[in-house]
Amino acid sequence: MSPMTRPDLLSDWTITPAWWAVMAVTTALYLIGVRRAAHRSPTTWPVYRTLSWFGAMVILVVALNSGVAMYSHHLFWVHMLVHLMLIMVIPLLLVVAQPIRLGLDTLGPTGAQRLRGFMTHRVTRFFTSPAFSVPLYAAVLVGTHLTGFQQAMSENMWIHETESVVYLVSGYLLLLPTIGGEFSGHDLSHPVRFVTLLISMGPDTLVGVILMLTDRPIAPAYGESRMGWGPSALADQNIAGAIMWFGGDGLMMLLLVLVAGQWIRAETHPDPDRPRRQSWLDSARRSATMGEDGESDDIDSDEAALAAYNARLAKMYGDEPASRRR
């Protein structure tokens, strides 16, 4: 492989027929759904969701077919950039595009019922829950970077294709119930979403730090394929670790900011069509002041609740309510 130059990055493209066929079919189905949504709903399908879908397709082509994809076979740090695109950027755009919710809106009663039933099935809910997706995300990052996987992948192309699928799936499963308003069969609270992403930063940091500090090449095949040009295998690996650490954690921080913003908006502008979640602090206050058999769900809701609150306080301090003392 010749040294990486800007013309090569722009001109060296490959074709992956299987990937292109999948992208063509799914994009066609998505556009059909958008067209149906425009006819069935008084409000059109948001343009940013459609743009997000096409953004995911464009970045997928760049990651798999561009000069970046070509040089990712010879430079570990370029391969790491492709990893971040596949496991974080593309899944995020797919979740924002909300193809599942689009299907629920446009498939008709029978199709929507089947899709909803599939997404809410206990097996599907398990695979899309943080209890499964977070360990999977960690296992994928650690297993493909800190073992002999990278060396084996450079010697077997089918492993490389499998890796791309695994990265897309693991990233999508992680972000599906935690980002945006896509239908996932879960209704995770914002604190749970935030903590899920916070925990997921751990594997990024672990892999990045180890690749930066290790004193031997984990995948020497990258250096051997370059015929002397570029950084040494160890320096290449250290750069890849820095990209994973700072780039991966940086992207995760952006997601945390996004979820935090959604959390704030949900607290300040609650959705009138959805019941407001009672926080643990409200639950503890209600239990302490009204007891387990309190008649009101909110101690500040009405006069009856206020009277019960006062009676409870009087009972706690061994006194009678003010109304009886009169």
Q: String of b and e for 94-114 (b: at least 16 CB within 10 Å)? A: bbbbbbbbbbbbbbeeeeeee
* pLDDT surpasses 70 at 285: no
The confidence band for 277, taking pLDDT boundaries of 50, 70 and 90, is low
Integer Cα distance of 295 and 65 in angstroms: 64
> Which alpha helices (DSSP H) does the chain contain, by range?
6-11, 17-40, 47-65, 67-71, 76-84, 90-97, 99-106, 108-120, 122-127, 130-145, 149-155, 157-175, 190-213, 221-224, 233-242, 249-268, 280-290, 303-316, 322-325
Check residue 16 and give its pLDDT: 87
* pLDDT surpasses 70 at 268: yes
What one-letter code names the amino acid at 276? R
What is the distance in angstroms between the CA of the first residue and the CA of the last residue of the chain?
Answer: 94
Dihedral sign, Cα of residue 138, residue 143, residue 146, residue 152:
negative
Whole-Å CA distances, 183 to 12, 33, 116, 128, 158: 39, 16, 9, 11, 33
Q: What is the DSSP string of 33-48?
A: HHHHHHHH-SSPPPHH
Point out the least confidently predicted range of 44-48, 96-100, 128-132, 281-285: 281-285
C-beta neighbour count of 158 within 10 angstroms = 8
Q: What is the mean pLDDT of the chain?
A: 82
Point out the least confidently predicted range of 113-122, 135-144, 242-251, 286-295: 286-295
* pLDDT surpasses 60 at 307: yes
The confidence band for 12, taking pLDDT boundaries of 50, 70 and 90, is confident
Integer Cα distance of 24 and 35 in angstroms: 17
Domain regions of the chain by residue span: 6-268, 280-325
Which tokens sit at 130?
């943080």
Q: How many residues does the chain have?
A: 326
- In a 3-state reduction of DSSP, which class is residue 188? coil
* pLDDT surpasses 90 at 196: yes
* pLDDT surpasses 70 at 118: yes
- Whole-model pTM: value is 0.79
